């Protein structure tokens, strides 16, 4: 299926919601509560100024690519140039300028990040940071500095990009502030919040695969004193997908309310509801026809190898929480963030069998059915203390956080008839579960962590020290349909720490060095030779040294970093042939460069380059264990990207903003054995917007935008882990929108 723009009839529900989202609600100005260039922060309340979607001069979509501050790195309002680790911020303005609508597209111009490494998947956002998973199924995604709820194999949350003010990518181990997390880093999503400084907006969009979309974002004051503020962000999207026989529909609404209780206390309620209906774009494709040609060449990425009657992914997702701040005085500030989340999913799909397709295209398949729900609670409370001893200024953070998740997931695997990949004929299935491969999983996870962080400033020196202790409790029962029951009851604990030192010169140069550790309790899902769950968490550590530069003469932030990441206690096959052991170790050395620059008047640029040296440094003696010296799977050695955006401010093109980018991902291995090589690929993106008010004053506030990802519609394989497990990456996606700000 080619990615052409068509408009098709939509349901009455779609028409109703589109009308609702585009109705003229009372005009009110809006603001954000999170970061951007040039924003100032109150010394007392440590309020972070976020990227504002404002019309400044001739720039409608491309103002403030360069963020100044972030809470993610230290949970305090620390300038990025003074943070002794790599941290990237993608603000609302950058997302709008590039026209991105998915998290994987938003982070595709970030150094060290491999987006969509498992191919097209409408269910979750898969990505890696410095060679380790940080999205979707890895539970390393955070919303408003609180961990997203964990869940079963297919019972996972996904957050719509329209509801976000910014995306923050924190690189390297971050366990001291966030608890268990992968060593490569984490992604923190920041929700839109109420305010009175940014224009309201409504937008209508049509796009590839018969997609239509309507959005509304309004914010303002409910009282004349501005002590009660509101914001409502809403979205309706309906259309087909780039995989045949797949439709996708989403309803999203996120009301929020800020109550400025006193001059010292504020409370923001954050809620959201999201409903997804349709199918799934995720497929297990054979290597024949994707990585290598069969008798009839390669299959088109739109080819659907499932069954139209067994292709379903429905999700109900909602969350409610708050952010509370109380400023006692110039020294003490108390903050608490809380969120309750609920996710319920139902997934039906067809996956590949155990082998590759024949050269003629015959391919065996299996059917899968998974359903379940998860409830999660996350709370983080910390006290910030600011004081001085002699000539040293201190910012001390003392806090604790608590995570609780209760999830139940049923996974059923059945049979399905074979299909020909070159001439698929859909015959339907009569689902019958295989008892040995089907089970009910019931899990309760609890984690409580206590942390202490000191930030000291003396002249140009910036020192950071952090220490944390976590206690984790897992109770899990897996009941197989063949009568087997497996129970897990473990209580791992961990102590993590970090230290960093940076020196900020007057000219904006800031060399730094740091070390940080992490842990992850994920191995409990594997068993040893006696059938008992593995009890030791994996552990990570990273050395990093780098140089940051934030010039005074123009708006920019440049970061060059070198690092060595090591993860120990990795799960490997037991040499005895039964179960697993925790003796594996992976080391990833790398160098990254990332620059966000306003080069000259009206010209913005993003440039990144990454070089990784991944290696398995320890393994087990099992014949099936990968050899030492091999590269871990799906970790490319080279990645690079460049985005340029220019705003025309005079002449016949006055009001036009044109942007284009290119991104490269090098070749990688699909498995730890390094027997599957996945070629690299280069993709081109583009976006053009036009301020209609420049030509037609009566249309002031209105703008058109045309954007495209993978503009050349390049066919490429994101990765392949086995003969029956290959995944295409996303093809061309084009959208045309009209937007009105007031």
pLDDT band per the 50, 70, 90 thresholds, residue 53: very low
pLDDT at 173 over 90: yes
pLDDT band per the 50, 70, 90 thresholds, residue 6: very low
pLDDT at 51 over 50: no
- Cβ atoms of 134 and 635 within 8 Å: the answer is no
Three-class secondary structure of residue 524 per DSSP: helix
Three-class secondary structure of residue 693 per DSSP: helix
Spatial separation of the C-alpha atoms in residues 616 and 314, rounded to whole Å: 38
pTM (predicted TM-score): 0.90
Lowest mean pLDDT among 56-60, 80-84, 130-134, 454-458: 56-60
- Cβ atoms of 273 and 253 within 8 Å: the answer is yes
Spatial separation of the C-alpha atoms in residues 673 and 714, rounded to whole Å: 28
DSSP 157-191: ----GGGEEEEEEEES--HHHHSS--TTEEEEEEE
pLDDT at 319 over 80: yes
Give the Å distances, CA to CA, from 233 to 61, 171, 254, 270: 18, 29, 5, 11
Report residue 170 as tokens. 């924190």
Spatial separation of the C-alpha atoms in residues 167 and 162, rounded to whole Å: 11
Report residue 253 as tokens. 């609404």
How many helices and strands, by DSSP H and E, does the chain display?
4, 37
Three-class secondary structure of residue 697 per DSSP: helix
Q: Average pLDDT of 414-420? A: 93
pLDDT band per the 50, 70, 90 thresholds, residue 570: confident
Name residues whose C-beta falls within 8 Å of residue 324's C-beta, 6 or more positions apart in sequence: 265, 266, 267, 268, 334, 335, 336, 337, 338
Q: Pick the more confident residue, 578 or 393.
A: 393
Domain range 12-741, its CATH number among 1.10.10.10, 3.40.50.1100, 2.40.170.20, 3.30.460.10: 2.40.170.20
Specify the pLDDT at position 64.
59
Residue whose entry in the numeric block shows the structure tokens 């943070």? 83
Among residues of the chain, what percentage have pLDDT more than 90?
Answer: 73
Task: Read off φ and ψ for residue 264, nearest 5 degrees.
Answer: -110, -15
Lowest mean pLDDT among 42-46, 232-236, 394-398, 708-712: 42-46
Spatial separation of the C-alpha atoms in residues 484 and 81, rounded to whole Å: 55
pLDDT band per the 50, 70, 90 thresholds, residue 620: confident
Exposed (0-12), middle (13-18) or buried (19+): which is 25, by Cβ within 10 Å? middle
Among residues of the chain, what percentage have pLDDT more than 70?
Answer: 91
Q: Pick the more confident residue, 664 or 353.
A: 664
pLDDT at 226 over 60: yes
Specify the pLDDT at position 137.
76
Residue whose entry in the numeric block shows the structure tokens 């473990």? 490
pLDDT at 719 over 60: yes
- Cβ atoms of 739 and 705 within 8 Å: the answer is yes
pLDDT at 324 over 60: yes
- Cβ atoms of 348 and 312 within 8 Å: the answer is yes
Spatial separation of the C-alpha atoms in residues 227 and 12, rounded to whole Å: 39
Task: Give me the residue spans of the domains in the chain.
Answer: 12-741
Residue whose entry in the numeric block shows the structure tokens 């001439």? 423
pLDDT at 706 over 90: yes
pLDDT tens digits along 271-318: 999 999 999 999 999 999 999 999 999 999 999 999 999 999 999 999
> Nearest Cα to 394, choosing from 336, 450, 453, 451?
453
Spatial separation of the C-alpha atoms in residues 514 and 463, rounded to whole Å: 10
Residue whose entry in the numeric block shows the structure tokens 């709370």? 379
pLDDT tens digits along 102-157: 999 999 999 999 999 988 999 999 999 999 998 777 778 899 999 998 888 788 89
Three-class secondary structure of residue 422 per DSSP: coil
pLDDT tens digits along 474-528: 999 989 888 888 888 888 899 999 999 999 999 999 999 999 999 988 777 777 7
pLDDT tens digits along 28-50: 333 333 333 333 333 334 444 44
Spatial separation of the C-alpha atoms in residues 724 and 365, rounded to whole Å: 9
User: What does the H/E/C string look like for 13-62?
Assistant: HHHHHHHHHCCCCCCCCECCCCECCCCCCCCCCCCCCECCCCCECCECCC
Residue whose entry in the numeric block shows the structure tokens 């999170």? 34
């Amino acid at each position: 299926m080619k990615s052409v723009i068509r408009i098709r009839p939509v349901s009455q529900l779609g028409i109703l919601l589109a009308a609702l989202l585009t109705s003229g609600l009372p005009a009110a100005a809006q603001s954000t509560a999170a970061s951007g260039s040039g924003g100032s922060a109150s010394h007392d309340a440590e309020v972070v100024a976020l990227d504002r979607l404002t019309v400044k001069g001739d720039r409608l979509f491309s103002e403030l690519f360069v963020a100044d501050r972030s809470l993610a790195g230290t949970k305090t309002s620390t300038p990025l140039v003074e943070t002794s680790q790599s941290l990237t911020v993608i603000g609302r303005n950058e997302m709008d300028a590039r026209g991105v609508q998915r998290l994987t597209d938003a982070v595709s111009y970030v150094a060290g990040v491999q987006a969509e490494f498992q191919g097209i998947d409408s269910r979750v956002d898969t990505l890696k940071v410095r060679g380790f998973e940080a999205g979707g199924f890895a539970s390393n995604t955070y919303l408003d500095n609180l961990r997203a709820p964990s869940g079963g194999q297919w019972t996972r949350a996904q957050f719509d990009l329209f509801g976000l003010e910014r995306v923050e990518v924190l690189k390297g181990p971050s366990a001291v502030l966030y608890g268990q997390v992968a060593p490569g880093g984490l992604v923190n999503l920041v929700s839109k919040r109420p305010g009175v400084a940014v224009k309201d907006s409504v937008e209508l969009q049509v796009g590839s695969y018969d997609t239509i979309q309507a959005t509304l974002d309004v914010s303002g004051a409910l009282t004349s004193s501005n002590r009660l503020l509101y914001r409502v962000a809403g979205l309706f999207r309906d259309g087909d997908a780039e995989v045949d026989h797949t439709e996708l529909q989403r309803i999203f609404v996120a009301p929020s309310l800020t109550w400025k209780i006193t001059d010292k206390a504020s409370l923001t309620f954050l809620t959201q509801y999201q409903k997804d209906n349709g199918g799934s774009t995720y497929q297990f494709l054979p290597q024949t026809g994707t990585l290598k040609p069969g008798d009839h060449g390669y299959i088109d990425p739109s080819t659907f190898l499932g069954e139209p009657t067994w292709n379903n992914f429905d999700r109900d997702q909602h969350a409610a929480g708050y952010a509370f701040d109380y400023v006692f005085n110039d020294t003490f500030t108390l903050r608490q963030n809380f969120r309750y989340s609920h996710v319920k999913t139902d997934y039906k799909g067809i996956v590949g069998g155990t082998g590759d397709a024949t050269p003629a295209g015959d391919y065996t398949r299996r059917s899968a059915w998974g359903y379940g729900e998860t409830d999660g609670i996350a709370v983080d409370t910390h006290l910030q203390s600011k004081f001085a001893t002699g000539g040293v200024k201190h910012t001390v953070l003392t806090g604790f956080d608590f995570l609780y998740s209760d999830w139940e997931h049923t996974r059923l695997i059945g049979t399905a008839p074979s299909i020909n990949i070159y001439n698929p004929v859909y015959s339907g299935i009569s689902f019958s579960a295989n008892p040995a491969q089907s089970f009910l999983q019931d899990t309760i996870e609890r984690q409580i962590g206590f942390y202490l962080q000191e930030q000291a400033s003396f002249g140009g020196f910036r020192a950071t020290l952090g220490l944390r202790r976590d206690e984790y409790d897992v109770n899990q029962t897996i009941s197989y349909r063949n009568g087997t029951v497996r129970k897990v009851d473990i209580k791992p604990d961990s102590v993590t720490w970090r230290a960093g030192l940076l020196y900020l010169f007057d000219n904006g140069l800031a060399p730094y060095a740091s070390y940080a550790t992490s842990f992850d309790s994920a191995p409990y899902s594997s068993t040893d030779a006696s059938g008992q769950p593995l009890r030791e968490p994996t552990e990570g550590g990273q050395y990093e040294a780098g140089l940051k530069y934030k010039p005074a003469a123009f708006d920019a932030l440049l970061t060059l970093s070198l690092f060595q990441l090591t993860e120990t206690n990795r799960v490997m096959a037991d040499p005895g042939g039964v179960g697993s052991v925790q003796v594996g170790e992976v080391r990833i050395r790398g160098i990254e460069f990332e620059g966000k620059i306003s080069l000259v008047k009206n010209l913005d640029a993003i440039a990144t380059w990454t070089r990784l040296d991944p290696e398995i440094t320890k393994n087990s003696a099992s014949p099936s264990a990968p050899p030492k010296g091999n590269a871990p799977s799906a970790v490319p050695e080279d990645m690079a990207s460049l985005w340029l955006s220019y705003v025309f401010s005079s002449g016949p093109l006055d009001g036009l903003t044109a942007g284009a980018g290119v991104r490269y991902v090098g070749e990688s291995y699909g498995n730890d054995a390094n027997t599957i090589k996945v070629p690299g690929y280069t993709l081109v993106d583009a976006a053009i917007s036009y301020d209609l008010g420049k030509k037609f004053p009566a249309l002031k506030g209105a703008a058109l935008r045309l954007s495209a990802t993978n503009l050349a519609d390049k066919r490429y394989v994101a990765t392949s882990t086995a003969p029956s497990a290959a995944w295409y990456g996303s093809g061309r996606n084009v959208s045309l929108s009209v937007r009105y700000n007031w």
